[in-house]
Amino acid sequence: MQTQKLDEQLALQLIPPLWKTRVQSTEQFGSFETIDWIDPQLLAEIGQIKRFIERWKADREFRKQVAIDPYNACVLYGLKVNPEDIRPKWDKNFASSSEEQIAEQFPLLKLFDQFYDQHLERAVDVGIPISSSANSHFWAWRERQIARVGSQVKAYVHREISHFTNAFELSKGCSVGCRFCGVAAPRLNDIFIYNPENAKLWREVLENMTSILGSAFQGSFCYWATDPFDNPDYEKFCADYYAITKVFPQTTTAQALKNPERTRAFLEFSKKKNSLFNRFSILSLKMFEQIHQEFSPEELLTVKLVLLNDEAEDIKAHTGRQRERNLQEGIADKELPDQGTIACVSGFLFNMVERSVKLISPCNANERWPLGYIVYDQGTFTNADELNNLIERMIRDNMPLTVRPYDLMRFREDLKYENLSDGFQLANKVKTFKFVNDPYWSDLGKMIYEGNKTAEQITQLLAAQGVLSDQTSYYLNVLFERGVLDSEPKP
């Protein structure tokens, strides 16, 4: 975009008056659980702030222009926002201000943050009860995975990982072919068309999974190493999903511009079904400009733009194809990369074309798990009954509620063990776990560190020292629940 100097007086005429004089109190707006009842004028203003922040994050040149002359920058980029209303978003001098201070000084920004947080950041947390499940084994397994991931990735990455419970690929491969694809999607080579046979299987799979997982199944979505809009029947699959689960799945597409009318109709459709939010992946600055031209701020209110263009502030995760590129350029795997995964499922990953299922959970990508997720188990099915048996077998094999006597007891490889006078500690760059204040911890830690004994063998050895088996069992299960025991499948 061409930049030119604009007279400040003219800028002030073009930009609306300071909103903070109009928005006196945030109390009147209450909670933003749905947006339909919010004053359209306020929504328009929120949409403009969202647009400013997207531009700020996506466009290096805009960031430079704002630093020089924020009013000019807004006018030149067609943003109907007064930069003074949202100064903390672009002025580093506010970096150390508390949320309360900012909220007090910038009430409109508080409203925006409230809206954004509720609709685009924590929508999954507030909208889907995925932490509860009819299946206690699945629920406990997920809790252990979440505990493990929380001690393996940076805090900001962990906050972003929603740990959805299921993902469904409705095609094989992806037509977009992003060079940084974090899940290294292969080329598109087959599509799960909504024909009578596939539609029947789809509905049976959804019904069976709902009956196995209960409400946790609502935390699912219908893409992975695929783009939803590669499937011409994507909307029909979503409609079935909604009819059976009563929740409309969130969608992320890199093809919002491929057929804008389809995209627009899909946004309308998902809104009617109370969809929580959708996301558009932005692959270049040109695409960013086109999205802002094609869709109005109001249309994008509950669409999060995932900024993957080179000029964006966000880093590319070291996983999948980006990891391959990094390795070729001499950037090795690190114990703690800035972001080493884009995986966001602790649960089942289906490919409906292959009729396959994997049990997965995120990890930092490495040689063994180059796509940024651990595959605990996998299998194929030909019909819904077989799928039921397969899922039940995976739950039985991988999701005990407590340590089993025959389980080999070892600490996770990424944790450094250290014996202490009254116990032991396990540490990596993210977290230090201390198990102390009881001499039995020390003996138990040493035995697990050796890595060659089962739970039963450890229980017997400690029993010979006078430790009750209940006590050993309790301690082993504390470690189990904290996610510090190695649970990765054998290579």
Nearer to ligand SF4, 287 or 467 (CB): 287
Applying CB under 6 A, among 54, 59, 227, 414 the residue interacting with ligand SF4 is: 227
- Quick check: 317 binds ligand SF4 (CB under 6 A)? no
Cα distances from 435 to residues 72, 123, 414, 419, 423, in angstroms, run: 58, 36, 17, 10, 6
- Quick check: 414 binds ligand SF4 (CB under 6 A)? no
H or E segment to which residue 434 belongs = strand 432-435
DSSP letters of 40-108?
HHHHHHHHHHHHHHHHHHH-HHHHHHHHH-HHHHHHHTT----GGGGGGGT-GGGTTS-HHHHHHH-HH
DSSP, collapsed to helix, strand or coil, labels residue 216 as helix
Site string for ligand SF4, 70-99 (x = CB under 6 A): ------------------------------
Q: Which stretch binds ligand SF4 (CB under 6 A): 109-117, 173-181, 234-242, 388-396?
A: 173-181
Number of residues that bind ligand SF4 (CB under 6 A): 10
Work out the number of other CB atoms within 10 angstroms of the CB of residue 33: 11
Applying CB under 6 A, among 74, 120, 149, 181 the residue interacting with ligand SF4 is: 181
The encoded tokens of residue 193 equal 């068309």
Nearer to ligand SF4, 185 or 391 (CB): 185
- Quick check: 178 binds ligand SF4 (CB under 6 A)? yes
DSSP, collapsed to helix, strand or coil, labels residue 329 as coil
The residues in 437-466 that bind ligand SF4, with binding defined as CB under 6 A, are none
Q: Which stretch binds ligand SF4 (CB under 6 A): 66-74, 128-136, 177-185, 192-200?
A: 177-185
Q: Which stretch binds ligand SF4 (CB under 6 A): 133-141, 171-179, 298-306, 414-422?
A: 171-179
Nearer to ligand SF4, 135 or 319 (CB): 319
CB 365 within 8 A of CB 320: yes
Q: Smallest distance, Å, CB 377 to ligand SF4? A: 23
- Quick check: 343 binds ligand SF4 (CB under 6 A)? no
Find how far residue 159's CA is from the centre of its chain.
Answer: 8
Half-sphere exposure (Cβ direction) of 329: Cα atoms closer than 13 Å = 8
Euclidean distance between CA atoms 119 and 57, whole angstroms: 19
Nearer to ligand SF4, 171 or 218 (CB): 171
Nearer to ligand SF4, 177 or 379 (CB): 177
List CB contacts of 229: < 8 A, sequence separation 6 or more.
Answer: 253, 255, 256, 258, 259, 262, 263
Strand-pairing partners, residue 427, are 416, 432
Nearer to ligand SF4, 205 or 225 (CB): 225
List CB contacts of 349: < 8 A, sequence separation 6 or more.
Answer: 166, 167, 169, 224, 357, 358, 359, 360
Euclidean distance between CA atoms 480 and 168, whole angstroms: 29
Nearer to ligand SF4, 72 or 319 (CB): 319
Q: Which stretch binds ligand SF4 (CB under 6 A): 145-153, 175-183, 415-423, 424-432?
A: 175-183
- Quick check: 45 binds ligand SF4 (CB under 6 A)? no
- Quick check: 254 binds ligand SF4 (CB under 6 A)? yes
List CB contacts of 93: < 8 A, sequence separation 6 or more.
Answer: none
Nearer to ligand SF4, 22 or 179 (CB): 179
Euclidean distance between CA atoms 434 and 441, whole angstroms: 10
Applying CB under 6 A, among 75, 86, 111, 176 the residue interacting with ligand SF4 is: 176
Applying CB under 6 A, among 66, 185, 359, 360 the residue interacting with ligand SF4 is: 185
Nearer to ligand SF4, 81 or 254 (CB): 254
Q: Smallest distance, Å, CB 255 to ligand SF4? A: 8
- Quick check: 225 binds ligand SF4 (CB under 6 A)? yes
Q: Which stretch binds ligand SF4 (CB under 6 A): 13-21, 115-123, 169-177, 387-395?
A: 169-177
Find how far residue 425's CA is from the centre of its chain.
Answer: 30
Q: Smallest distance, Å, CB 222 to ligand SF4? A: 13
Q: Smallest distance, Å, CB 224 to ligand SF4? A: 7
Indicate the residue type of 434: K
DSSP letters of 346-379?
EEEEEETTTTEEEEEEE----SS-TTSEEEEEEE
Phi, psi values for residue 364, rounded to 5°: -70, 135
Binding region for ligand SF4 (CB under 6 A): 174, 176-178, 181, 185, 225, 227, 254, 281
